[in-house]
Amino acid sequence: AQSVTQLGSHVSVSEGALVLLRCNYSSSVPPYLFWYVQYPNQGLQLLLKYTSAATLVKGINGFEAEFKKSETSFHLTKPSAHMSDAAEYFCAVSDRAGNQFYFGTGTSLTVIP
């Protein structure tokens, strides 16, 4: 079965500091991995996705993630946090057929001015 684990339910960073949100996956086959962002009372918006074309994936709003098979990780980073990055972030994995998306428990990012 596919699953993802997000370490740290809350992360606080200062404005301009590095953002690092952790995600580890559990999959017996190469996974399809996604990062989504959710602002209060809104739906989920795709930040980026890994589909095995490249291990370093660039997304929207300056975010990127690196797929590391040896560490079974897909951590999300951004070099410089902005106040507008404050939101809930979800890592997700899909099954091979795309029938289901399995979400991590989420990480709430706070940006301190």
Which window, 14-22, 46-54, 66-74, 75-83, contacts other proteins (CB under 8 A)?
46-54
Residue 91 backbone phi and psi in degrees, to 5: -90, 145
- For residue 91, list its beta bridge partners: 35
Question: Quick check: 4 and 55 in contact, CB under 8 A?
Answer: no
Q: State yes or no: residue 61 binds other proteins (CB under 8 A).
A: no
- Contact, 45 vs 37, CB < 8 A? yes
Nearer to other proteins, 70 or 99 (CB): 99
Minimum distance, C-beta of residue 92 to other proteins, in the bound complex (Å): 8
**x/- site string to other proteins, residues 12 to 41, per CB under 8 A?**
--------------------x-x-x----x
Phi, psi of 58 (to 5 degrees): -100, 140
Binding other proteins by CB under 8 A: which of 105, 110, 111, 112? 105
Q: Rounded distance, CA 23 to CA 72, Å?
A: 9
> Which H or E run contains 41?
none
Contacting positions for other proteins (CB under 8 A): 32, 34, 36, 41-46, 49, 51-52, 88, 90, 94-101, 103-106, 108
